[in-house]
Amino acid sequence: MRKTVALKSLTLVLTAMLFFGCNQANKKTDEQVANDTIAKVEQNTIDSLPAKDSTDKTTVVEPKKDVPNVLVYNFHITNRCASCIAIEEATTKTLKTYFSTELKQGRIKQYILNVDDDANEKISEKYQVFGSGLFVTRVYKGKETTTDMTGDGFKYARNKEEKFIEILKTKITEYLK
């Protein structure tokens, strides 16, 4: 009986850490990091937001259909932790460093989306994201293939950025073929 209670308690603690950890960990550090990067994040967001119209709050630009295209969705909530910011920064760095030509051609598009914004509700629901998330989607001949890179992002982007960049670069390269 003690083992069962201990196991339930441990499960509850781990679940709480996963659920609340992203928003609560390093709050002072998060604020400092956010202030240092706010201008860069805002510019990336402006540069990478989907087109909007009056009928549908969020309209994703259709990629070319004759060649594979890659859509990189970086979801976040309004109050972001240092890891969430690190994922976005490492993703942007990867795209600009290794895929600048494909970005200019429109074969790769990056979307930085706040799930708390009503305009992003449909796309957030499509990917079932209600917090932080990183998804790489290959679009080819009308068919989508998506890989959830969120786990790798949280595992490596903040402390082992080069490893995360290599994983992301490999997936994007695979999807461009």
Question: Tell me, what's the pLDDT at 66?
Answer: 85
**3-state secondary structure (DSSP) of residue 102:** helix
What tokens appear for 129 in the block? Answer: 């994201």
Upper half-sphere CA count for residue 163 (Cβ side, 13 Å) = 10
What's the residue count for the chain? 177
The rounded distance, in Å, linking the Cα atoms of 77 and 9 is 28
Domains defined along the chain, listed by start: 26-176 (3.40.30.10)
pLDDT in tens, the chain (177 residues): 544 444 454 444 334 444 444 543 333 333 333 333 333 333 343 344 443 333 334 444 454 558 999 999 999 999 999 999 999 999 999 999 999 999 999 999 999 999 999 999 999 999 999 999 999 999 999 999 999 999 999 999 999 999 999 999 999 999 999
Residue 73: how many CB atoms within 10 A of its CB?
Answer: 26
**3-state secondary structure (DSSP) of residue 127:** coil
Question: Tell me, what's the pLDDT at 124?
Answer: 94
Question: Tell me, what's the pLDDT at 103?
Answer: 96
Cβ neighbourhood burial of 47 (10 Å; 0-12, 13-18, 19+):
exposed
Please state the pTM of the whole predicted model. Answer: 0.65
